[in-house]
Chains A and B, each alone.
Chain A
Amino acid sequence: MNKEDENIEKGFVSIFLTSFTTIFIAELGDKTQLATLMLSAESGKPMIVFLGSSFALLCSSIAGVLIGKWISTKISKDKFSLFTGILMTLVSVWIGYTIFNINY
């Protein structure tokens, strides 16, 4: 119970930094999006492309946050953790699998 309380009390800055680091790392490994960005940047107006894609990324994070919040009200925290934990592990295995495809 104490552990649970600590998790809830975790500060704003700490959650901000955790989210920032996780998403930044996830995004670094994600070449597709940046490649798409570059293709459109070849149009010669990178700032416009940057504005458009930033806005799109904001919208997709809002959607992610809201969906996560919504699901967490529907099912118990443990089930949510188990489900997303399994999904993340599968994603990890998938990324690992694509690494082998780069080599061979």
Chain B
Amino acid sequence: MIINLLISSFITIFIAELGDKTQLATLTLSGTSKKPLAVFLGSAAALILASLVGVLAGGSISNFIPEIYLKLIASLTFLIIGSRLIFDSLNK
């Protein structure tokens, strides 16, 4: 039973995460820096912490912080990184 739950959590999260914006961010960070191990460790720590918070709190972080703020922060972060990348690539 435990192994079933383990496998089903693995598959659900793995598929949910494939092609996700988080993976896009990891991909970008890795491709633009020379230290893939640092990128991997940093993003792995962030992902594990995010799911640990979810499991321990018995709900997602959106229970404490309104979803609109979370989305606003995420949207702004992506806008800043994205425009910086475009600016850097055109400004060479």
By a beta-carbon cutoff of 8 Å, the part of chain A in contact with chain B is 7-8, 10, 12-13, 15-38, 40-41, 43, 45-69, 71-72, 77-82, 84-93, 95-96, 98-99, 102-103
Verify A56–B11 contact, CB threshold 8 A: yes
Category for how many chain B residues contact A = 35 or more
User: Nearest 5 A-B pairs (CB), nearest first?
Assistant: A29-B74, A19-B42, A52-B9, A85-B85, A88-B82
CA distance A16 to B92 in the complex (A): 26
Q: Which residues of A contact B16 (CB under 8 A)?
A: 32-33, 36
Q: Which residues of A contact B84 (CB under 8 A)?
A: 85
By a beta-carbon cutoff of 8 Å, the part of chain B in contact with chain A is 2, 5-14, 16-18, 20-52, 54-56, 58-62, 65, 67-68, 70-79, 81-90, 92
Describe B's contact surface by its main secondary structure.
helix
Verify A86–B38 contact, CB threshold 8 A: no
Verify A10–B73 contact, CB threshold 8 A: no
Q: Which residue of A lies closest to B37 (CB)?
A: A12
